[in-house]
Amino acid sequence: MAESKRDPGAVFLGQMLVATVLWATTFVLTKGEWAQHAEGLPLRLAVVLIGLAGFAPVVFVYVKSIRIQDEFNQRIHLVALAIAFASTAVISYALDLLHQSGFVPALPLTGLWAVMTAIWFVCMFATTRFYR
C-alpha cells in the first residue's frame, strides 16, 4: 500500500538498480577465475544456474514495469521491442555471414542482447518523443 504513494518512475528505477546490482554480482561471480576453471558437474552446473538466477530479478522488474503501464505506453514498448527484435535478427544474420566469409572474427552471443537493448532504448526514446 505504501508503494502506491511513491512516484512509480522512482520505484521502477530503484528496483531496476537493485536488480542490476544483483545481476552484476552474479556476472562477476560467473566470469571469475574459479568459474572459468570449475570442474565437476555440480560446480559447472552451479556456475550456469547462478548466472541465470542473476538475470531473473531484471526480467521480473522489467515485466512488472510494463504490466503497470497504460495501454498506450504498452503499445510504445511493443513497437520498440518489435523494431529491436527485427533489427537484431538482421544484424546477427549479417554478422554470421561476415564471419562465414572471414571478414569478422566469431563474436560472443551475449553481445546480441546488448545490441537489442541498445536498439530498444533508441526506439523508446524516438517513439516517446514522437508521441510527446
Residue number with CB closer to other proteins (72 or 103): 72
User: By the 8 A CB rule, do 88 and 107 touch?
Assistant: no
Cβ-proximal residues to 16 (8 Å cutoff; 6+ apart), any chain: 58, 61, 62, 65
Q: Does 131 bind other proteins (CB under 8 A)?
A: yes
Distance of alpha carbon 40 from alpha carbon 45, whole angstroms: 9
Candidate ranges 26-34, 48-56, 72-80, 107-115; the one touching other proteins (CB under 8 A) = 72-80
* Residue from the set 3, 7, 33, 71 that interacts with other proteins by CB under 8 A: 71
Q: Does 125 bind other proteins (CB under 8 A)?
A: no
Distance of alpha carbon 129 from alpha carbon 1, whole angstroms: 32
User: By the 8 A CB rule, do 119 and 88 touch?
Assistant: yes
Candidate ranges 11-19, 52-60, 69-77, 114-122; the one touching other proteins (CB under 8 A) = 69-77
Q: Does 113 bind other proteins (CB under 8 A)?
A: no
Shortest CB 130 distance to other proteins, Å:
8
Residue 122 grid coordinates: 533508441
Residues lying near other proteins in the complex (CB under 8 A) are found at: 69-73, 75, 128, 130-132
